[in-house]
Amino acid sequence: MVPQKVFWGLLKFIYKTINSKENINTWIRDLNSDAKSAVSVDCVIFGYDEKELNVLSIDCNMPPHIGKKSLIGDLVKVHETLDQAGQRILKQRTGIEDLYMEQVSAFGNPNRHPLGRVISIAYYSLLRIRNYEIVDNEDKHLEWIPISKINTLAFDHNEILSVCLSRLRKRLKERPIGFSLLPKKFTLIQLQKLYEIILGFELDKRNFRRKLHSTELLIDLNEFQQDVSHRPAKLFSFDYEKYNAKKEKQTLKFDL
């Protein structure tokens, strides 16, 4: 005789094995069938040109969005990380390599893409337009559009842009991502204008300078602008070494 306890235990085990959602065969089947989704990465590349903030866009040639602009994006390959996908897409579509991008959010509305289920992971990055030559490899009117002139984009790209813009503005205040948008030697006026353009509102000159100096991360070069028809401004550079050292030692205070 088999003890009841053993019998029921065995029965339960068999039941579990057959029915478990986590049964490996179920997983393997799901993984290879209709449970799969297409996953894309969309890159919101912000470009600064000393006048305004722009976004990199291309023509969308997919019905029903033909004629609209869209962000640059593509499906994620099976072998690559999401970060790598972002890098690849950027390089493929623009020729730009090795640009730091930050993941922002996943967008998964099942109706967001006309051809079926495409879940998109959004990334943003920020660069100085004149430091990069963008190459329209795919001849899709790759172009910078001022964010003030953005109209209806394809898919849910307006929403993605909006979320990424919020993230950019938040980061600008808490990390030194603005300094790569200026020449190595810059004036405080240039820096302030940059902050104002990206944030979208004006700042107080004296308070801005006080905050910047209080970080102790600006190097006073004791050099001055040349060939300007007014009082030449002092040149500064940003001390990335000191910044990293402070971050290591957790004595960093950078909050504008």
Residues making contact with a copy of itself (CB under 8 A)? 12, 16, 20-22, 24, 27-28, 30-31, 34-39, 60-63, 74-83, 85, 92, 103, 105-106, 108-110, 115-119, 121, 138-140
Least distance (Å) from a copy of itself to the CB of residue 31?
5
Q: Which residues of 175-209 are buried (b: 16+ CB within 10 A; e: fewer)?
A: ebbbbbbbeeebbbebbbbbbebbeeeeeeeeebb
Which of these ranges, 79-87, 124-132, 144-152, 206-214, lies near DNA under the rule CB under 7 A? 206-214
State phi, psi for 236 to the nearest 5 degrees: -130, 160
Least distance (Å) from DNA to the CB of residue 204?
5
**Contacting residue, 211, 239, 242, 246, with DNA by CB under 7 A:** 211
Render 176-228 in DSSP notation, one character per residue.
Answer: --SGGGS-SSB-HHHHHHHHHHHHTS---HHHHHHHHHHTT-EEEEEEE--S-
Closer residue to DNA (CB): 91 or 211: 211
State phi, psi for 219 to the nearest 5 degrees: -95, 120
**Contacting residue, 110, 114, 183, 232, with DNA by CB under 7 A:** 232
Find the binding residues for DNA in span 118-137 (CB under 7 A). Answer: none
